[in-house]
Amino acid sequence: MTKLSVNINKIALIRNSRGSNLPDISKVAIDCERFGAEGITVHPRPDQRHIKYDDIPILKSVVTTEFNIEGYPNKEFMDLVITNKPHQCTLVPDPPGVLTSDSGWDTIEHHHFLSEIVNELKNNGIRVSLFLNPDLKMMEGAAKVGTDRIELYTGKYANKYTLNKEKAISNHIETANLAKSFNIGVNAGHDLNLDNLRYYQEHITNLLEVSIGHAIVCDSIYYGLHNTIQMYLNLLKK
């Protein structure tokens, strides 16, 4: 079964809007796991508008499933990750100030840079995933970089799903199959939700993990966090 990692960035965003510790993100992380989540994802950004750097060691101490830290690998981020040693580090090519992650790495142009970063993380016992557009050339480049996994950007898939879901997923299937031939694991994330998740998971047969945050927080307003996590888990059961 594909694992569900809950991204709690938006929980932290709500907390930060009032300058207090409500909601308490460490408690939310614990509750997500108690409700069935198989991982917790965070994406600390330079402006710390949601997850703050100080949150990371606290979360590391309470997360008992899989801890995944996403972000752009500048020195501050790398120091944070290596110090706290999550199970997985997902490298994302976000420039400073970007609203959300909406494109993957150019693994050819940034081959040397990524190779060094991936090697450093793996030498510290951290599994590495590269955020990637569903593109065969970029997948080949990711293999040459030495990554353990890729995370396929699913934003465009989600946008096109209601128009032509077969076409929307076709390049994801091709890229995932190529990853399998390189023995590279496949994760996915961005705008996956209750409407489009099951179809995606059914067609990406080697999908190991999905990271979902915004949709889970939105659905929780109506269904509650426990029920929402269970609904997503049910979609991922084959």
**pLDDT tens digit sequence for 188-227:** 999 999 999 999 999 999 999 999 999 999 999 999 999 9
Q: Which of 33, 43, 50, 209 is catalytic?
A: 43
Give the model's pLDDT for residue 216: 98
Mean pLDDT of the chain: 95
Residue 96 in this model has a pLDDT that exceeds 90: no
DSSP percent split of the chain into helix, strand, coil, nearest 5: 45, 15, 35
Q: How confident is the model at residue 95 (pLDDT cuts 50, 70, 90)?
A: low
Percent of the residues in the chain that have a pLDDT greater than 70, as a whole number: 96
Active site residue 50: no
Number of domains in the chain: 1
**pLDDT tens digit sequence for 23-55:** 999 999 999 999 999 999 999 998 888 999 999
Helices (H), 75-213: 75-84, 111-123, 136-145, 155-160, 165-181, 197-203
**pLDDT tens digit sequence for 119-158:** 999 999 999 999 999 999 999 999 999 999 999 999 999 9
Percent of the residues in the chain that have a pLDDT greater than 90, as a whole number: 92
Which amino acid, residue 106?
D
Q: How confident is the model at residue 18 (pLDDT cuts 50, 70, 90)?
A: very high
Give the model's pLDDT for residue 98: 58
Residues of the domain holding 146: 3-236
Q: Which of 50, 172, 190, 209 is catalytic?
A: 190
Active site residue 70: yes
What's the per-residue H, E or C state across 75-108? HHHHHHHHHHCCCEEEECCCCCCCCCCCCCCCCC
CATH of the domain at 47: 3.20.20.70
Confidence (pTM): 0.95
Q: Over range 106-114, report the average pLDDT.
A: 96
Active site residue 43: yes
Give the model's pLDDT for residue 102: 66
Q: Which of 33, 66, 70, 209 is catalytic?
A: 70
8 A C-beta contact, residue 57 and residue 118: no
